[in-house]
A = this chain, B = another copy of it.
Amino acid sequence: MTKLINDPRNYVDEMLDGLCLAHPGLVRVGDDRRAIARNAPAKAGKVGVVSGGGSGHLPLFTGYVGEGLLDACAIGNVFEGPTINACQDAIAAANGGAGVLCLFGNYGGDRMNFEMACEFADLEGIETRTVLGNDDIASASYEERAKRRGVAGLIFAYKAACAMAARGADLAGVADIAQRTVDRTRTVGVAVSPCLIPGAAAPSFTLGENEIEMGMGIHGEPGIWRKQMQPADALVDEMTDMLLKERPQGATRVAVLVNSLGSTPFEELFILYRRLATRLGEAGLEIAQRLVGPYVTSMEMGGASISLCFLDDEIEGLLSAPADCPFWKVN
């Protein structure tokens, strides 16, 4: 896990500088410059949509700021939630006078800081709503799904909510579609190798040679089982079965994300996608949209996740609306 970095203490700031230099449509904002916004004034009268979370997950979170996607994003240290200040800065940057939706993953630190930031926003007359991504089916049972973590499927909620905001919906309408998209999205991942936080002496978890963990979270949180490696098709079958157990009634169309957690290459993602497409076809589900690539990572963690967003007509239309950010372009 040799890393191409400088002083680990400067990792996040240098990374953010590079991101904004490489993508001039983005800019660092706020006193500590730990929020990323579009390099343009907030659109007056449009509901703003912000997200936030720890560093180390690119393209999540900051890479999804752009046209038809997030207005701004608060960013913390590696695998740490953003500060209250950063959340405030993101909300301020996204505020066009019609309220701001805070849409982020269900993690305690992130929730606490966004909650405080929303209270401060309220004092400044900015109305906010919060919707939490909780798509990771391995992190709690269906009955306790409010406890589930948010992982890769969050980007479907980004896309739907931001397209709704771009169409001129009010804050309640944007929050409702975000919540409905979250409610119809499920993810499960399998980890095959760890990652290393810059400056840390050792990875936060270890896996034996040829050992894998089903359901592990994007920070190495415990999953469902740990076993020797199995063929990709067998893994996809198990993951698909888990995902389809929570298929909403009447759902016949899905958007699919086969996501690399970091070092798992495109070739392997396509091998996974091949089996997934067969299995979804057999289950009578039509794949309306698909993403295959590194969309939500944990630096160089090895493994992949599969997300299904069970579509309705409105969500499907919103997912295919035009968008243009550094990592996701829809024409």
Contact = CB atoms under 8 A, between A and B. Distances in A.
Nearest to A21: B277
Interface string A1-44: 11111110001001111110110000000000000000000000
Interface stretch (A84-92, A93-101, A144-152, A267-275): A267-275
Interface residues of A, number: 61
Contacts of A18: 269-274, 277, 292
Given A232-B4, A297-B266, A302-B300, A22 B63 contact: no
A197 to B, nearest CB: 11
A74 interface: no
A283 to B, nearest CB: 16
A66 interface: no
A324 B267 CA distance: 20
A209 B196 CA distance: 14
B4 A271 contact: yes
Given A270-B22, A274-B18, A58 B265 contact: yes
Q: How many protomers of this protein does the assembly include?
A: 2
Nearest to A17: B274
A239 to B, nearest CB: 11
A294 interface: yes
Contact of A273 (B3, B7, B22): B22
Interface string A185-206: 0000010110000000000000
A167 interface: no
A270 B6 contact: no
A2 B210 contact: yes
Nearest to A273: B18
Contacts of A297: 265-266
A6 B233 contact: yes
A110 to B, nearest CB: 19
Nearest to A195: B265
A231 interface: yes
A56 B268 CA distance: 10
Contacts of A58: 265-267, 270
B267 A265 contact: no
Contacts of A274: 14-15, 17-18, 21
B192 A268 contact: no
* Residue of A22, A233, A268 contacting most chain B CB atoms (<10 Å): A22
A266 to B, nearest CB: 4
A56 to B, nearest CB: 7
Please provide the 5 A-B residue pairs with the shortest distance between their CB atoms, ordered closest to farther: A18-B270, A263-B263, A18-B274, A58-B266, A2-B192
Given A17-B270, A22-B292, 18 more contacts: A2-B210, A2-B211, A3-B268, A4-B232, A4-B235, A4-B303, A4-B304, A5-B271, A7-B231, A14-B271, A15-B268, A15-B270, A21-B274, A58-B266, A58-B267, A58-B270, A262-B265, A329-B331
10 contacts: A3-B268, A4-B190, A5-B268, A6-B233, A18-B269, A18-B273, A21-B277, A22-B273, A58-B267, A63-B266
